[in-house]
A and B are shown apart, each in its own frame.
Chain A
Amino acid sequence: MRPLEDARELSYASAFTLGLLDPGQPTPLAVTGPAGKAAARRYDVYRNNVTVSLIDALAAIYPAVQRITGIDFFRAMARLHIRSNPPTSPLLFEYGRDFPAFIDDYEYANAMPWLADTARIERAWLDAYHAADAEPLPPAALAALPSNKMADVVFTVHPATRIVRSHFSAVTIFAANRSDGPVGAIDASSPEDALITRPDIDVVVRRLPPGGAVFLLDLISGRSLGEAAASALQVSPSFDIASAIGGMIEAGAFTMALLETHDAQ
């Protein structure tokens, strides 16, 4: 343990951080300029560095959201978010996980009910980008399994795979606003589910067919192919199992296919 007088001397961080994200706080008394100069504008350099760099961090994670809202709207929204939810990890690519929920509650974004889901896809995109490397399941792996046992097959999810479900056209909105081209009118009202994968280095975002998200979420949670297909057919009678399997293999959503063996005693 440090001596008590050290504890007093080490209170500088509490005093210094008080105003970093709160413009209503005065300049800390502990700091000064040289030769009796004031420290208000000097301390403001730190306030500005903190706020601007964290807004920039959110803008880097959510470029489609910024493109949709415009820069001024985005930065005002982000400023409020970083004050209420500053980062808790020094890894800024982990920051902003609660930003989509913040957007959901942000009064001025009410007119864009699909904005938060677009943000959720962007957050999932960055998670996939940094996820551990893994070889996706090769197409031949399934062909090697006995066809009469296919319903029992279970899969190991790839570390990068993410599913985002939306009541709005979030995948179309995401894709249009992450490209360089002009964005035309989009009908935002049709529900879309996203499959985000990274089979090698590039992150790929696909729109899933009806039932596809339920099917993949079942497989990700460890249910068998037969169980997952039944769940998907229940929510979407037109669900096409063969094309769903082909799609998930092509996307690289899984790394292994295992046949559950029910060994006789």
Chain B
Amino acid sequence: MSLTVNPSASAPTPLRFPAFSVDGLAGTSFKPQHLSAILADGKQRGFFEVHAENYMGEGGAPHRALEAVRREHPVSVHGVCMSIGGPQPLDKTHLARFGMLVERYEPILVSEHLAWSTHETTYFNDLLPLPYTEATLSLVCDHIDEVQEAIRRPLLLENPSTYVAFRESTMGETEFIRRIAQRTGCGLLLDVNNVFVSATNHGFSPLDYLSDFPLAFVGEIHLAGHAEQSDDEGDMLLIDSHDCPVVDAVWKLFEIVVGRCGLIPTLIEWDSNIPAWPILKAEAAAAQAILDCYAAIAREDRHAAA
């Protein structure tokens, strides 16, 4: 990413962990139950992503595990409950914790969701949808500015999986997201499974969505599995469940995205029904194989052009 936020605001802090690149790499969610298997594998090609909130305790096993992983691998911090898309001001305590976590672990990527989860004093523990209007656009932009000030670097904002639309929306999701990126300088986390889930649920073409999506801002890709239910009319309704392998259609969309925007770091998310480490590792290897294939094609093209 070449984006910077207020670059003069802070002196660089000394790195306590190695600075690794994630260019063209595939990674997986880091789950504590995989720690010993991961460490037994030794240093490997790839990166690990953690949910920020799971590492906001003061001490103990979670931090010990993340330190061990971070010493040998690039790490990405993925916030789940900043409530950027909510109408109320961001929780300053939570924002400060988020900033401290980023400072402590020096992640290569930091991301959050275009969604909200807290209203008044209640935390709902889900990624809730918002209407896409001029008013919510300026609200979300203000919140992203605030987060980027706190972490002193660009945030990657993730496109959501949604199950309903708001009647009051005045623009489409891709326009909303493009204008956010243009106004705030944030990057984007393109969740290809979310595109597939929302496209199915709202009856649009995922290819149309992708061709309208501001791919130039994408700094990370997410891939995950989903579950199938049905809507009120008995048609397919997909649930962003993160509890199973990535489906073929999403792999195909991923190839299309890689073909268009190049070697973006790509993460396999798996958050419930968590399989043994070799199964998750194999999903990441499948993503890595696609990235490597496109890297080889890009090298050949450069060669031919020279």
Contact = CB atoms under 8 A, between A and B. Distances in A.
A131 B125 contact: no
B116 A13 contact: yes
Interface in A1-43: 2, 5-6, 9-14, 16-17, 20-21, 29-35, 37-43
Contacts of A93: 57
B58 A132 contact: yes
B-side interface size class: 35 or more
B60 A87 contact: no
A86 B124 contact: yes
Choose among B91, B119, B138, B163 the residue with the greatest number of A CB atoms under 10 Å from its CB.
B163
Contact of B119 (A14, A38, A41, A49): A14
Given A11-B87, A159-B58, A91 B53 contact: yes
B116 A6 contact: no
Contacts of B204: 34
Interface in B153-182: 163-168
B232 interface: yes
A37 B124 contact: no
Interface in A56-105: 57, 86-93
A45 interface: yes
Contacts of B128: 13, 16-17, 46
B132 to A, nearest CB: 11
A98 to B, nearest CB: 14
B184 interface: no
B118 to A, nearest CB: 6
Contacts of A16: 119, 128-129
B232 A9 contact: no
B163 A45 contact: yes
A133 B58 CA distance: 8
Contacts of A198: 60
Interface in A98-144: 129-134
A150 interface: no
A255 to B, nearest CB: 13
B94 interface: yes
A5 B229 CA distance: 38
A53 interface: yes
Contacts of A87: 122-123, 125
B248 interface: no
Nearest to B203: A34
Nearest to B241: A49
A42 B87 contact: no
B59 A132 contact: yes
B276 to A, nearest CB: 19
Interface string B110-147: 00000011110111111011110101101100000000
A130 B125 contact: no
Given A54-B125, A130-B59, A133-B60, A41 B133 contact: no
A87 B86 CA distance: 17
B124 A20 contact: yes
Contact of A39 (B122, B131, B232): B232
B231 A37 contact: yes
A50 interface: yes
B58 A31 contact: no
A201 interface: yes
B230 interface: yes
Interface string B50-73: 000100111111111000000000
Given A10-B139, A38-B231, 7 more contacts: A33-B231, A35-B203, A37-B231, A37-B233, A53-B126, A86-B124, A92-B125
16 contacts: A10-B135, A12-B87, A13-B116, A31-B129, A31-B165, A33-B231, A42-B237, A43-B163, A45-B163, A46-B163, A46-B164, A87-B123, A90-B125, A92-B125, A132-B59, A160-B60
Interface of A: 2, 5-6, 9-14, 16-17, 20-21, 29-35, 37-43, 45-46, 49-50, 53-54, 57, 86-93, 129-134, 159-160, 198, 201
3 closest pairs, A vs B, by CB?
A130-B57, A133-B59, A90-B81
